[in-house]
Amino acid sequence: MAFDGSVVYALCNEFNNELNGARMQKIAQPEPDEILLTLKTSDNIKRLLININASLPYIRLTDENKPSPMTAPGFCMLMRKYLGNSRLLSVSMPSLERVLVFTFEHRDEMGDLREIRLIAELMGKHSNLIVCDENNMILDSLKHVSKAVSSVREVLPGRTWFIPDTLSKADPFALSEKNFGDSNGFLSLFCENINIKKALYSRITGISPLIAEELLYAAKMDSDMPVSAFAKDDFQRLYDTFKKFISKLFLKEFSFLAYSENGIPKDFSVVPLSHLSNLDVKEYNGISEMLCDFYSSKDKAIRIRQKSSDLRHIVQTAYERTIRKLDAQLKQQSGTDGMEKYKLYGELLQTYGYDVPEGSNKATVNNYYTNEKICIPLDATMSAIKNAERYYNRYNKLKRTRQALITQIEATQNEAKYLESVLSSLDMAQSENELTQVRSELIETGFIRFRRGDSQRLRANTRPGSGAKSKSGSHAKTNAGAPAHYISRDGIDLYVGKNNIQNEELTLKIAARDDWWFHVKNAAGSHVIAKSGGKELPDTAFEDAARLAAYYSNQRGGDKIEVDYVQRKYIKKPPGSFPGFVIYHTNYSMIIDSDISKLKPV
């Protein structure tokens, strides 16, 4: 993804066109790192969403009105103080920096008109939202940056705001042919080891690796070659390509394009990217529309992952503990491998022990199973018959240990598989409600102790008769929620469980006996049901259902995933097993990819 200078430049143009002269109506802070501004233009209401999440910063117009917390955070209150009922004068950006400066006009306590600047810095982990006065003195910021954090620039109330020029990057709009690549140009001054792609994006403001790759592709140049390997003609060709790119921006000839692969968003741009011509491309009417479509799924996934971190930590810790326990059990089991030897020693001593002299520390006897001589160590203080009893006792003890370990190892392996499936459910969760369902499941299975506060959190998911007793002695009654619903290319209904409770209800209660059940082989994943309606399914329906099983598993992204499928009537649930755990013995298998772009969700 490239939220670079060209994208911010297009946003600046859109905001000036859409928000010019708009009056501030409402300021909200729905998330700790997100501000939602509602502005009234001459003919409409516009909402501006500013997100400074370190991993996914962006800014765009939106139609969504997010709920706000009951008590507004301090930064939100300061913005309301200085920007409430203010009027937007202009939106600007310095060169192609990923910085937008919103200049507002408001009246101070004395009734005099003053300028207030809201500065959005969209620079990855350094992203920030800053309120300044007309002299660029910082009034406050969403993130405070002290000298202990950054020796380059402090972002604190009372300090002066500026853009640090640590890399001395060139202004792309002022870059001439002479200083681009001739003997005195900055590109030719790089050391021999730096390739031309890195030279472009690290020394020209607003140029991202994505745009650098596109410039070199359009100029028919190898992006991995060092700068020193290029001749003057090469620099001339590259400069001509670069100038065309800058001219498109200057003339505001934007193309709002999002690129995807197998339905998964990959990149977006405001100019065509010929080096991504092998990907699917979608064109939009405006940049905010493109960003809304592109970021909505990614932003949602990031926030859900952040909110699932506590659950993930609990499950991951339990999984690691279970794996260590399994290793110890397997090691203990390997220590019982010699038990048959002790049984043989006991049998042979019972047979030949009367011929062994008293006080002997070994007995050499004939092994009648192999007709070979065998030497048996003895305790010299005991008779041969007593030694035989000792070996029998050792054999029986190891036998009991091994039998107990077989049961324990199977239970531990099932627990590990179950925890893997919960981690997979957390990866697939797309809403807070689904996280609540997973939490309910963990309470039910005893991995989370049921607390009084949980009853309020789970109340929305409670229904009679669905709970199992947890280890804490409480009942966690879980509503599985609705499984995901898809339509195959042949119009067949396909259902996907998003967590183990859903998997169990889908397979054991919703599916009919003649429906087909799908699951990725020997891996954590969802149960998928293809509704047959008592009829034979077409081959494409089997393929579509198998792709869903591959996609909703921890094997997602592979192109050769083995999926088992069998009719529902052959699926059994062992008594007392974990939610979603089933067994089957007669099944078919197929190798399939995880591309579900041709399937229609309902």
Confidence check: pLDDT of 511 > 80: yes
- Poorest-confidence range of 134-138, 171-175, 244-248, 518-522? 171-175
Distances (CA, A) of 539 to 484, 488, 507, 531, 588: 21, 11, 21, 14, 13
Q: Distance between CA 41 and CA 47 in Å, rounded? A: 10
Give the pLDDT confidence score for residue 356 in this predicted structure: 87
Q: What is the mean pLDDT of residues 424-432?
A: 80
The predicted-structure confidence for 56-80, as pLDDT tens digits, reads as follows 788 999 988 888 888 999 999 999 9
Q: Distance between CA 403 and CA 415 in Å, rounded? A: 19
Q: Distance between CA 549 and CA 517 in Å, rounded? A: 10
Q: 39-75 burial, b if ≥16 CB within 10 A, otherwise e?
A: beeeeeebbbbbbbbeebbbbbbbeeeeebeeeeeeb
Residues contacting residue 495 through CB under 8 Å, at least 6 positions apart = 483, 484, 485, 486, 506, 510, 511, 528, 529, 531
Q: Report DSSP state, residue 507.
A: I
Confidence check: pLDDT of 330 > 90: yes
Strand order in the sheet with 484-487: 588-592, 561-567, 516-520, 528-530, 493-496, 484-487, 600-601
> What are phi and psi for residue 589, nearest 5 degrees?
-140, 150
Nearest to 104 by CA among 40, 23, 10, 207: 23
Confidence check: pLDDT of 55 > 70: yes
Give the pLDDT confidence score for residue 101 in this predicted structure: 96
Q: 513-527 burial, b if ≥16 CB within 10 A, otherwise e?
A: eebbbbbbbebbbbb
Residue 594 CA, chain-centre distance (Å), reads 17
Beta bridge partners of 38: 26, 47
Contact 587, 564 (CB under 8 A): yes
Give the pLDDT confidence score for residue 262 in this predicted structure: 58
**Residue 291, Cβ density class (10 Å: 0-12 exposed, 13-18 middle, ≥19 buried):** buried
The predicted-structure confidence for 115-168, as pLDDT tens digits, reads as follows 999 999 998 888 999 999 999 999 999 999 998 888 889 999 999 999 887 567
Residues contacting residue 269 through CB under 8 Å, at least 6 positions apart = 2, 6, 7, 210, 211, 214, 255, 257, 259
Contact 129, 115 (CB under 8 A): no
For the chain, what is the largest distance between any 2 Cα atoms, rounded to a whole number of angstroms?
Answer: 118
Sign of the alpha-carbon dihedral angle for 39, 41, 43, 46? negative
Beta bridge partners of 317: none
Give the pLDDT confidence score for residue 458 in this predicted structure: 45
Q: What is the mean pLDDT of residues 272-283?
A: 88
Residues contacting residue 132 through CB under 8 Å, at least 6 positions apart = 116, 117, 119, 138, 139, 161
Confidence check: pLDDT of 357 > 50: yes
Confidence check: pLDDT of 454 > 60: no
Confidence check: pLDDT of 309 > 90: no
Which domains are seen in the chain, by residue range? 5-141 (2.30.310.10), 178-304 (1.10.8), 308-331+412-476 (no CATH), 336-400 (no CATH), 484-601 (no CATH)
Q: What's the whole-model pTM score? A: 0.58
More confident residue, 296 or 441: 441
Residues contacting residue 370 through CB under 8 Å, at least 6 positions apart = none
Q: Distance between CA 203 and CA 169 in Å, rounded? A: 5
Nearest to 133 by CA among 150, 154, 111, 108: 108
How would DSSP label each residue in 173-216?
TT--SHHHHSTTSSGGGS-TTSBHHHHHHHHBTT--HHHHHHHH
Q: Distance between CA 20 and CA 88 in Å, rounded? A: 6
Share of the chain above pLDDT 90, in %: 51
Distances (CA, A) of 410 to 382, 403, 578, 582: 40, 11, 13, 14
Q: Distance between CA 129 and CA 12 in Å, rounded? A: 16
Report the mean per-residue pLDDT for the chain. Answer: 86
Residue type, 362: K
87-92 and 516-520 beta bridge pairing: unpaired
- Poorest-confidence range of 28-37, 63-72, 255-264, 331-340? 255-264
Q: Distance between CA 23 and CA 38 in Å, rounded? A: 9
End-to-end CA distance of the chain: 29
Q: What is the mean pLDDT of residues 335-353?
A: 90
Confidence check: pLDDT of 480 > 60: no
* Token pair listed for 419: 């925890």
561-567 and 516-520 beta bridge pairing: antiparallel
Q: What is the mean pLDDT of residues 342-359?
A: 90
Confidence check: pLDDT of 230 > 70: yes
58-62 and 87-92 beta bridge pairing: unpaired
The predicted-structure confidence for 232-267, as pLDDT tens digits, reads as follows 778 788 888 999 999 988 889 999 998 887 556 788
Q: Distance between CA 553 and CA 518 in Å, rounded? A: 11
